[in-house]
Amino acid sequence: VQLQASGGGSVQDGDSLRLSCAASGGTFSAYDMAWFRQAPGKEREFVAAVPRNGASKFHADSVKGRFTISRENAKNTVYLQMNRSKPEDTAVYFCAATNIWKTAFMTSHSYDYWGQGTQVTVSS
Q: What is the CA radius of gyration of the chain?
A: 13
CA distance 30 to 73: 9
Q: What percent of the chain has pLDDT over 90?
A: 96
CA distance 94 to 92: 7
pLDDT band of 18, cuts 50, 70, 90: very high
Contact in structure between 101 and 32 (CB atoms under 8 Å): yes
pLDDT band of 85, cuts 50, 70, 90: very high
pLDDT band of 92, cuts 50, 70, 90: very high
3-state secondary structure of 109: helix
Tell me, what amino acid is at 72? Answer: E
Contact in structure between 93 and 37 (CB atoms under 8 Å): yes
Q: What is the pLDDT of residue 22?
A: 98
pLDDT band of 78, cuts 50, 70, 90: very high
